[in-house]
Amino acid sequence: MNRIAGMLLICATSVSVFSQELDSSLGTLITDRPDATESPSTVPVGYIQVETGAFFERYEEGDFKNENYTFNTTLVRLGILENLELRLGWDFIEQKTSGQNNVLSGFSPLLLGTKVAIAEENGCFPEIGLIGHLFLPVSAGRDYKPETTGIDFRFAFAHTLSERSSLSYNIGAQWGDDSPEAAYIYTLAYGLGLTEKLGVYAELYGDFPENHSANHYWDAGLTYLISDSVQLDATIGTSITEGQDILLSGGLSFRIPTKRQKE
């Protein structure tokens, strides 16, 4: 984890130098990480936003302990219209189970999706966005390759509570892992800016599968703006119901202009 943090810091410093001249016209970076709650805001037209990182999860069930390492949680977002972005994501996962010699590893199904900004915030009326994804089996490694295409969608909402605080939440549904069963998803996140650069958040999230018990989680973390276009983040969390024992995550997000924007 120390090596990952060092690499993220070096990358962030390099990108920050390049992006400083862009910050004043674009405003502060708004990301879809590190929490599970997606923002309703889209990436500015002509810009690419990259949100990447790594995380560690541990699960214990009876005598077995599973450890999951995700080394590349990259999401690439491209602003193509004032209220529309394209999204592309791919993760590399390694899973170890205590008492067993085999290790599962490989890429997860490629995420392909869009986000549409539906409405701007107006008084008590929240900012609203709609996000949808396909998860393509053809792109997955052998250990994580499903037979059918996964899908999810969610509505994203955001309220400004004060100059330094906000409340965001998502509702939606997802289908995956070769199962016809829908899981209805929810998230609720509170964010607070401690300074102009440092922010903290706390979040509840989970899902309600149609034929299985509900899963509920919490996490909390912080974000640090190196510049208006570069952000570092760190998160810790666990499950409220049985399942995940701990979640640790660190990441980097930045935006840069496309070739068309530079010209």
SS (H, E, C) 93-151: EEEEECCCCCEEEEECCEEEEEEEEEECCECCECEEEEEEEEEEHHHCCHHHCCCCCEE
Dig out the tokens for 195 from the structure: 């300074």
Q: In Å, how far are 32, 84, 134, 200, 214 from 131, measured between CA atoms?
A: 11, 10, 11, 24, 23
Q: Do 114 and 163 meet the contact criterion of CB atoms below 8 Å apart? A: no
| Residue 258: predicted pLDDT | 87
CA–CA separation, 81 and 34 (whole Å): 25
Dig out the tokens for 106 from the structure: 């490989």
Q: Do 222 and 251 meet the contact criterion of CB atoms below 8 Å apart? A: no
Three-state DSSP class for residue 17: helix
Residue 4 banded pLDDT, cuts 50, 70, 90:
very low
Cα separation of the two ends of the chain: 39
**Mean pLDDT taken over the chain:** 89
Tens digit of pLDDT for each residue in 52-89?
999 999 988 767 788 999 988 999 999 999 999 999 99
| Residue 25: predicted pLDDT | 66
Three-state DSSP class for residue 258: coil
CA–CA separation, 133 and 144 (whole Å): 18
| Residue 195: predicted pLDDT | 96
Residue 21 has pLDDT above 50, yes or no: no
